[in-house]
Each structure stands twice: as structure tokens, then as C-alpha cells.
Amino acid sequence: MKVSREQMAENRARILDAASRLFRERGFDGVTVSEVMRAAGLTHGAFYGHFASKDDLIAQTVAHALAPSGSEGTDLAAWMDAYLSPHHRDRAATGCPTASLASLLRHQSPGARAALTEGLRGQLDRLASAVPGTDAAEQRRAAIGSWAAMVGAVILARAVVDPALSDEILAETRAWIEQRGKQPA
């Protein structure tokens, strides 16, 4: 039975959403194509109508997960409220794909790494419009430093077993970013 273009697009989005959740939760090697397809409510055989291989799925999932959602604003405090929170830390499967997947991507295909590269550029561009600075170069530097600190904080806060230390990592990273924003140029 032939599937309409609209249904194909819907199925593809379901596959990418399911893969994104599973990869963030368990890593690339911890998830099989069959598990992704089952989570998307589709058969394993339908996979090859959408992707050439698991590597292709990974690259396209990373691009999909890092695409702008429209929820990013230009308010740095609001961005940090959401990002450096216990809620975000405790929900890796639906949280930031950069914090969940970046360290795993160095072992993936050039296509997957290129998808991360483009997604990261977009994240930095959006954050640059939210950080203080006297010119574009200063805002870019602040965006890179702030984003690196935020992503690193979430990675570390998820990794430790001490809840107090985990909360401290999030809170102190936010305080450090705020302090940096108040220093004279």
C-alpha cells in the first residue's frame, strides 16, 4: 500500500523524535534501529524508506534535534533559568541534545559531526543576541564562553551522584556567567 507524502513526512518526524529521545537517554550505541522504529510506532522495514543506514539516522537526528525550536529568546536570564535547572538536568531524554550527545559525536560519522557543527553555530548565534557586549565580537566571545559553561555544567551535574554537588554546579555556573556579564570590558 502506497503512503502519501504527508504520511511519509509525519512518519519521518516520528522516527526522528523517537531517535532523538532514545539517543539522548542511552547514547548512539545503546539504541538499535528496531528500538527506534518500535518507539515511533513503525516496523523495522519502514526504516529504509527514510534512511540509508543508522549513521544516516544519527546525522539526521542530530540536525533535527538541534534545529531552532522558536522557544529560544533573547533573555539570558530566562535561558539560564530553563537550562541550568534541576528539571532540565533530570530529563536528559528531552533536554539539550548538545549536553547529551556532543561527547559521543566525536566517534560518529562526518555527517553527524557536521550536523552538530551547524546546530552549534545556530545555538551560538541565538545566544549571542542574548548576552551583553559592546560589539558583535564581544557578544560572540561571551556566547561561546557562556554556552560552553552551561553545557559543561549540565554534563557534570548529570554525572555526579551527590545531589547537593549537582545543584551547586548548576547554581554556581549561573552565578559565574552573571558575574562575567557585569564586569567592565
pLDDT of residue 71: 60
pLDDT of residue 181: 75
Q: How far apart are CA 170 and CA 146, in angstroms?
A: 13
Q: How far apart are CA 3 and CA 47, in angstroms?
A: 14
pLDDT of residue 155: 97
CB atoms within 10 A of CB 177: 22
124 belongs to a structural domain: yes
Q: What is 92-139 written as a DSSP string? A: TTTS-HHHHHHHHHTTS-HHHHHHHHHHHHHHHHHHHTTS--SSHHHH
Measuring CA to CA, how many Å separate 24 from each of 7, 45, 94, 162, 180? 26, 24, 7, 22, 30
Q: Which structural domain range is residue 14 located in?
A: 5-55
14 belongs to a structural domain: yes
* Number of domain units in the chain: 2
The residue among 55, 76, 91 that closes a domain is 55
pLDDT of residue 69: 75
pLDDT of residue 72: 59
- Contact (CB, 8 A) for 107 and 72: no
In this structure, the answer to whether residues 37 and 82 fall within a common structural domain is no
As averages over each run of 10 residues, the pLDDT of the chain (185 residues) reads: 86 97 97 97 94 97 89 79 96 94 95 97 94 93 96 98 98 95 64
Which residues have CB under 8 Å from 90's CB, separation 6+? none
- CATH number, position 137: 1.10.357.10
Q: How far apart are CA 23 and CA 35, in angstroms?
A: 11
Q: Under DSSP, is residue 51 helix (H, G, I), strand (E, B) or coil?
A: coil
Q: Which residue has the cell 548548576?
A: 170
In this structure, the answer to whether residues 50 and 71 fall within a common structural domain is no
In this structure, the answer to whether residues 130 and 74 fall within a common structural domain is yes
Q: Under DSSP, is residue 69 helix (H, G, I), strand (E, B) or coil?
A: coil
Buried b (16+ CB within 10 A) or exposed e, 128-138: bebbeeeeeee
